[in-house]
């Protein structure tokens, strides 16, 4: 079958190539999906540069897919042959077909198309679980850094719908414009410009951003660190807690840590989209032969929201 294969980590012009891969060999609890669309996450572009998963023999990217069940799971779990689904496999999804555990997929209603669905899994699941980690948000002030990506769009819309007053930090006003439409109360282009104090800080940039955001945290507040998009290490002076956010907490977040099954969260996201309560931001939709171009666009931050590729 055809699949997107990793190219040379040193080759920025050709990080992936379209080639041939072996057909998926599903376990008893896995369904084989004929892929119609997949999305590219920024984390996958970093792995293609030479991360741990990239070095593992046989690894291929692909965590967010939508398509049709071609072969149901042998153990009888999951949807039947021909069902339209969205899924979150651990890898290998940028291909004509992929095997996915049935606990990590859910069926799609007719009202949700494959392109929209493919934009949901990693970013949507991360947003749902991040907000659960933050706790009840009704009436609380929230600061979200690195807000213009796929996760940021979902967090903004869900947090605002939950009653939070959210300040979004985006590198440019243009990249952050959609966040105001989704319910953000305020948009700033630098974390240094926030006023605070905030009950909750959701931090995804790293470097100086985290320490600056920490200073805007209210006493007893919570900072949840869930990424390092700026790729710069964080240095903290813990004595700074006494200058403002006394008794505050810092928590590290990993969306896979609490539960490595994703079907229920995918079903929740699909219900929200079908009900008009969640609106995926699709920054670009292209044929999968253009995957390398899309990766270049994501690395250069020229794509706002989710990047989706259609197969066939």
* The pair of three-digit structure tokens given for residue 9, joined into one six-digit string: 């980590």
Quick one: average pLDDT of 199-207?
A: 89
Look at domain 2-120+280-310 and name its CATH class. alpha beta
Over residues 94-115, the pLDDT tens digits come to: 999 999 999 999 999 999 999 9
At 51 the pLDDT is 53
Distance CA 52, CA 68 (A): 31
Helices (H), the chain: 42-48, 52-55, 114-118, 121-134, 150-161, 173-181, 208-215, 263-274, 291-299
Q: Which CATH class is domain 133-252?
A: alpha beta
Q: What is the reported pLDDT for 112?
A: 98
Q: Per-residue pLDDT tens for 276-289? A: 999 999 989 999 99
More confident residue, 301 or 279: 279
Question: Does residue 197 have a cis bond before it (omega within 30 degrees)?
Answer: yes
Read off the pTM: 0.92
What's the pLDDT at 280?
Answer: 94
> Which of 299, 304, 273 has the alpha carbon at shortest distance from 120?
273
pLDDT on residue 176: 87
Poorest-pLDDT segment among 41-50, 103-112, 252-261 = 41-50
- Average pLDDT over the chain, rounded to whole? 90
Residue the block writes with tokens 């896979």: 256
Predicted local distance difference test score (pLDDT) of residue 52:
47
Hey, is 63 helix, strand or coil? coil
Which tokens go with 26? Answer: 């599903």
Q: Where do the CATH 3.40.50.720 domains begin and end in the chain? A: 133-252
What is each CA distance from 183 to 119, 207, 254, 305, 310, in whole angstroms? 20, 27, 25, 16, 30
Assigned token pair, 106 = 């859910």
| For the ranges 7-11, 102-106, 244-248, the one whose mean pLDDT is highest | 102-106
Average pLDDT over residues 53-68: 82
Q: Which of 10-14, 236-240, 256-260 has the highest mean pLDDT?
A: 256-260
Helix (H) or strand (E) holding 223: strand 217-225
CATH 3.90.180.10 spans which residues of the chain? Answer: 2-120+280-310
- Rounded average pLDDT over 22-33: 98
């Amino acid at each position: 079958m055809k699949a997107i294969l990793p190219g040379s980590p040193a080759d920025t012009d050709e990080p992936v190539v379209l080639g041939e891969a072996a057909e998926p060999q599903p376990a008893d609890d896995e369904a084989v999906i004929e892929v119609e669309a997949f999305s590219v996450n920024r984390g996958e572009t970093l792995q293609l540069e030479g991360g741990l998963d990239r070095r593992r023999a046989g690894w291929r990217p692909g965590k967010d897919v939508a398509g049709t069940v071609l072969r149901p799971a042998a153990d009888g779990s999951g949807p039947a042959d021909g069902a339209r689904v969205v899924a979150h496999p651990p890898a290998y999804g940028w291909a004509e077909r992929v095997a996915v555990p049935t606990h990590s997929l859910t069926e799609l209603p007719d009202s949700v198309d494959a392109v929209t669905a493919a934009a949901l899994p990693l970013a949507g699941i991360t947003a749902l679980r991040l907000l659960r980690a933050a706790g009840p948000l009704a009436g609380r002030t929230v600061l979200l850094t690195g807000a213009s990506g796929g996760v940021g769009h979902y967090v903004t819309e869900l947090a605002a719908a939950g009653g939070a007053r959210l300040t979004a930090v985006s590198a440019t006003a243009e990249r952050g414009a959609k966040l105001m439409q989704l319910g953000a109360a305020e948009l700033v282009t630098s974390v240094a410009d926030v006023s605070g104090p905030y009950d909750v800080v959701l931090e995804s940039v790293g470097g100086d951003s985290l320490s600056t955001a920490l200073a805007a945290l209210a006493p007893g507040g919570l900072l949840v660190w869930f990424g390092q998009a700026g790729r710069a290490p964080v240095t903290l002076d813990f004595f700074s807690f006494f200058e403002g956010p006394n008794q505050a907490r810092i928590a590290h977040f990993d969306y896979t840590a609490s539960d490595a099954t994703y079907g229920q969260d995918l079903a929740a996201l699909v219900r929200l989209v079908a009900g008009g309560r969640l609106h995926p931001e699709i920054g670009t939709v292209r044929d999968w032969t253009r995957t390398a171009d899309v990766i270049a666009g994501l690395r250069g931050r020229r794509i706002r929201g989710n990047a989706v590729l259609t197969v066939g």
